Amino acid sequence: MTRDIFVFVEYRDSTVRKASLELLSRGRQMAGKFSSSLCAVLMGSGVKELAQTLKGFADKIIFTDSEELKDYGWDTYGSALEQILKKYDPMIVLGTSSMIGKDLFPRIAARMRATMISDAVGMDFHEEGVKVKKPLFGGKVVSWLAPDAASMSFITFRPNSFAVETADAQGEIMEEGLTIEKDPRMKTVSLEKSGSKKVDLQEADFIICGGRGMKGPEHFDALEEIAGLMGGRVGASRTVVDSKWREYDDQIGKSGKTVSPKLYIGCGISGALHHIMGMDTSKVIVAINKDPNAPIFQYADYGIVDDLFQVLPALKEELKNTREET
């Protein structure tokens, strides 16, 4: 019997994240190819109504609703997910390469002695199953990995790896009542939400990112204005975050977020590998740097060798004019 394709669904403020809808869309194609069912897994507190919104996207929606799952914890979410996976034994579990996905998936994969591919950007089929595209060394090498279809595989994908396609499934909603285990060795003392209404960095189609070349926090206002005109987000290099010019939430790179926007503009960023690892799968990369030998130009589709303080005002004016015309 063909085993199911599972998608671990993430949400924010009672809305399913676009990245999860992307996975459900690609998961549908996988399920069609293997004649298996597509199953969305949702967990949290008060998620019954949210489960209903997934009906059109999957054949089955398994949800578990518990006060213990109000906020993410690797122990509680791990406990719930492990129980569900042991019960249903899916072939593949897809997740987002988000903070939760990066934390939860490797732990559960290890516990289940399953294979794990993290931070993938594409997926295709081969004779025996799927093959997964994963960039290495800041995109200098592209690997295709084929997990064994006979065992269980966990795969996390960067947001914006796939298109969202509307489906007209009539998914069956199934509630799992579980006993959630907590790790007594650790407890959450407090959680402070930033209250930020900004577009999610990992889901933004447009990112303008500032590096040390921005010279100081006050100059990021220019980037905010451009991001506002484009409906996108401002990102930052680690140097900028370490200097307290921007919050960690904005950091792109190995120790920050991995992004794949349609357009990334790097301003005063040298292109160190640790930064490139977080943005090299952007669809179009533009670099503004006054040093023609800056490494970022090796990755850029378009390069502007100039002083960013000359380029940014001109770019802003041009965007304003274009917006007024349309």
Ligand X SMILES: Cc1cc2nc3c(=O)[nH]c(=O)nc-3n(C[C@H](O)[C@H](O)[C@H](O)COP(=O)(O)OP(=O)(O)OC[C@H]3O[C@@H](n4cnc5c(N)ncnc54)[C@H](O)[C@@H]3O)c2cc1C
Residues that bind ligand X (CB under 6 A): 211-213, 237-240, 251-256, 268-270, 272, 274-275, 278, 288-291, 294, 307-309
Buried b (16+ CB within 10 A) or exposed e, 238-272: bbbbeeebbeebbbbbeebbbbbbebbbbbbbbbb
Please state, in angstroms and rounded to a whole number, the distance separating the CA atoms of residues 51 and 45. 12
Residue among 242 and 301 whose Cβ is closer to ligand X: 242
Residue among 181 and 225 whose Cβ is closer to ligand X: 225
Residue 220: exposure state from Cβ atoms within 10 A (0-12, 13-18, ≥19): buried
Beta bridge partners of 131: 124
Residue closest to ligand X (Cβ) = 253
Residue 16: in which H helix or E strand, if any? strand 15-16
Residue type, 179: T
Nearest approach in angstroms of CB 276 to ligand X is: 9
Q: Which of 87, 79, 88 is nearest to 111 (CA)?
A: 79
Residue among 285 and 288 whose Cβ is closer to ligand X: 288
Nearest approach in angstroms of CB 235 to ligand X is: 9
Nearest approach in angstroms of CB 144 to ligand X is: 25
Residue among 2 and 255 whose Cβ is closer to ligand X: 255
Residue among 25 and 237 whose Cβ is closer to ligand X: 237
Please state, in angstroms and rounded to a whole number, the distance separating the CA atoms of residues 103 and 188. 16
Nearest approach in angstroms of CB 215 to ligand X is: 7
- Give Cα separations from 161 to 2, 82, 262 (angstroms): 26, 26, 10
- Give Cα separations from 221 to 121, 228, 244 (angstroms): 32, 10, 15
Residue among 11 and 309 whose Cβ is closer to ligand X: 309
Nearest approach in angstroms of CB 210 to ligand X is: 8
Nearest approach in angstroms of CB 32 to ligand X is: 37
Distance from chain centroid for Cα 148 = 24
Beta bridge partners of 94: 7, 155
Nearest approach in angstroms of CB 302 to ligand X is: 15
- Give Cα separations from 162 to 119, 255, 267 (angstroms): 13, 24, 27
Nearest approach in angstroms of CB 268 to ligand X is: 4
Nearest approach in angstroms of CB 255 to ligand X is: 4
Query: Which tokens is 1 given?
Result: 């019997």
Residue 162 sits at φ, ψ, to 5 deg, of -135, 160
DSSP state of 198: S
How many beta carbons lie within 10 A of that of residue 111, not counting itself?
13
Residues 6+ apart with CB under 8 A from 104: 8, 74, 77, 78, 81, 95
Residue among 137 and 144 whose Cβ is closer to ligand X: 137
Residue among 121 and 272 whose Cβ is closer to ligand X: 272
Residue among 37 and 258 whose Cβ is closer to ligand X: 258
